Structure 1
Amino acid sequence: MTVPPDLEHGAFSDHPPWVLDRPDDLAWRRGLDLVREVRRRQVPKLVEPGRRPPLGRLLRVLRHLGLALGLWAARERPRGGERSRLGISRRLRVAAERLGPTYIKLGQIISSGEGIFPAELVDEFKKCRDRVPAEPFDVVRRVVEEDLGARLEDVFASFDRSPIAAASIAQVHGAVLHSGEAVVVKVQRPSVGRLVHDDLRVMAWVAPFLVGRIPIASLANPPALVELFAETINEELDFRLEAENMLDVAWSLAALGQRGYVIPRPHPALVTRRVLVMERLDGFAFDDVAGMVEAGVDTYGIVRTGMIAFLEGAMMHGVFHGDLHGGNLRVLPDGRTALLDFGITGRLEERRRLAFLRLLMGATMNDVAGQLAALRDLG
C-alpha cells in the first residue's frame, strides 16, 4: 500500500480522500496570521468595562438572569447546601438555553471545567451539549452557497438535509463530493457573529455585578471569565482558523510520534469563514465501551495515549486540542482516536509554554513555590 505523503508531517488517516502535501499552497491559509491577530485585538473592545451594551439584548439577558436568580433565591437558597447549589445550577442552565448560542457555548465550556467550577454546575451544563435546535435546510443552503460561490448541487453529489449534530455556533451535515469522497460540512449559523459580539458586551457589563452575589460566582472571577471566553469564541467565528488549528495539531502529533490520534483533513479548497468541509471519520462514540471491547479495542490504551498526547503537545509545541470531551472523540476500528471540533485550540507562546513545564515539574517535585510562580507566569 502506498503511504500518503502528508503522513510524513501530519497525524492523518491512512486512506485519504485528498492529500495535503503542499499546505503552503492552500489558498484559504493566506493571511491567517493577520486574521488571528485582528480577532485577538477585537477582544479588549468587546469586553471593555463600563461600555454600554445593546439595550434590547441587555434587557433580555437581565430578564432571564433575573428570573433565574429570583426563583432560586425564593425556593432553593433558603434550603442551603446541595439543594441550593443544584437549584442555581439548573436555573442558570435553563436561562443559558433560552438566551441562545453565546450562552449555550459558555455553558458547554463550563461543562468541561471539572475541578474549576462546582460539580453541580459542571454536571448541569453538560446537558447543553448537542441540544440546540437545527437551522432550517434553506438557511444552511444559503450560507453554503454564499460562501462557496456556487450552487450546492454543483459542489456536492449529495448533501444530508438533517444535520449530524447542531451546536451553538454551527451545525454539521454529512455530504458526498462529485469526486466521490464522503465529507462532513460544518456550517455557521447566520448572524451568529453579530449576536456573539452583542452578547459579549452584555456579559462584560453584567459580570462585575455578579461578584460575590451568587455561590457560583464566588468561586471564580466573572470579569476574567468573560474575557477568556471572548478570546475563545471570537476565534471560533472564523472557520479558516479552525482548519489551521487542525493542521497545527496534526503536525504537532506527527512530530511527537503520537500516531494514536487521527485528525480529519480539511478540504484543500472548500474552507471559508463560515463553511468548513473536511474528511469524514466514523467510529465508536467515546462512551460506547461495550462496542469497543467487543471489537477488541484497547480502551485503557486510548486514555493513556490521550493524556500523553495532550501533555506533550502543550509542553513541546504549545498547541493542543482545548475542548476534549466525549462528544469530540470517535474511536476508529483500528483503536486510534479521531479528534473532532478544533474551534477551541489551546496555544501557549514560549513564556507560557515554559511556565507550563515548570508547573508540571513543580508538581512532581512537590515544589509549591515553583508551582505558584509558574501559575503566575501562566496568567
Structure 2
Amino acid sequence: MSKRAKIILIVIAILFVAALIWFGKKNKKSIVEYETEKPFKTTIVKKTVATGKVTPLEEIEIKPQITGIIDKIMLLEGSKVKKGDLIATVRVVPNEQSLISARGRVDNIKIRLNNAKVSYLRNKTLFEKGVIARAAYEAVELTYRQAQQDLKNAQNDYLIIKKGSAGSGGAANTNIIAQISGTILEIPVKEGDQVIQSNNFNAGTTIASIADMSKMIFEGKVDESEVGKLVKGSDIEVSIGAIEGKKFPAKLNFVAPKGTEENGAVQFKIKADVSLDDKFFIRAGYSANADIVLEKKDSVLSIKEALLKFDKKTEEPYVEVKQADGKFKKVTLKLGTSDGINVEILEGVVADDEIKIWNKVSKDEKKKDN
C-alpha cells in the first residue's frame, strides 16, 4: 500500500469517527432534573365573597301630617336626636276656595243657631207657664243644642283649613318631631319647600330620615351556585372598603327564598348582623364585602394546586410521582376540597410520595404536551 493510500485511509477513519460523535450528540436527549415535593396535612377553608353594603337595622322616614310649606329646619344632617325632638316646623298655606267655603258654612250655621235660640227661649217660657207639652219643648231644645254643636264643628273645620289644626292640636300637626332616637341621615327638603301630607293616595313628602347607627347589618348577594351551602347563624367576616385592615364579625341571619336575575346570573340577597367596634364610625351605605365559609376541613392530606396536571382526553387530574429508579410515573388523583392554593387528596398519593414540581420542561415534553 502506498503512502498516499494510507493517508486517505487515515482521513476517512478520522471523518468516520467525527461523524459518529456528531450523530451521537445529536441523538442524545438532554437530561432534565426535576425538584419534588411531598404531600402535607393542612386545614382547607373554602370561602365565597358576597359584595354589598352596610345599612342601619332601623331606618324610618318622617312625613308631615298636613300639607304646607317648610317654615324652619331646626337640625342638620348627622345630628343625633332623641325621640320627640323637634326637627322642623310646617306653615299651613290654606286653599282660598276651601277657606271661603268653610267660612260660609260657619256663617250659615250661626244664622240657623240664632233662629233656633229664639224659638227655644220662646218655647221655654210657654212650657214653664204650662201652655205647651213637655214633648214639644224638648223637640225645640234638641234643635237648639244640635245647632250649637254644628257651629262648633264648622268652626273647627275652618280653623283646620286655615291653621292646620283646631285648638291644642296645632303644634302636633305643624311640628315635625323625631319618632325614634338615632341619627338624622338625610333632610331632603329646604326651608320654603312645599310638602304634602301622607294619605291613602299619596306617600307624602319625606322631611327627614332617621336611623339607629348603633345597630348595623350587612346586605349583599351571593350566586345561586353557592347559596345552597349557606347556613343561617353562621359566623362571617365583613370588610368595609372605607376602613382598611379591619374586619368586623357578623352573623348570617337571612337568606332570600327567591333570587333575582342580574346580567344572566341568579343572585340571592343575604343579611347579617354586624358587631361594631366603638373605635370606628360606620356610615350608612358603606360598600362592603363579606367572607363566608362554605366548607372547612381540618388536617387533611393536601398538595399545592400548582402540582396538578389534567389529562387532555379524560380531563382527570394527575401528578407524576418519583419511582425508586429515579423515573416519574403518572398517577391519577381523586380530589376533595380546594381553597384555590391547596387541594385535598382523597385517593392517588400518600404522605411519603415525591411529586414532580413542574419547574423545568424539555423540548420533547413540550412537543408531547402540544
TM-score range (shorter-chain normalised) is under 0.3
Structure with the higher fraction of residues in strand conformation: 2
Higher RCO, 1 vs 2 (CA within 8 Å, ≥6 residues apart): 2
Task: Please give the TM-score of this superposition, normalised by the length of structure 2.
Answer: 0.17
Task: Please give the TM-score of this superposition, normalised by the length of structure 1.
Answer: 0.17
Structure with the higher fraction of residues in helix conformation: 1
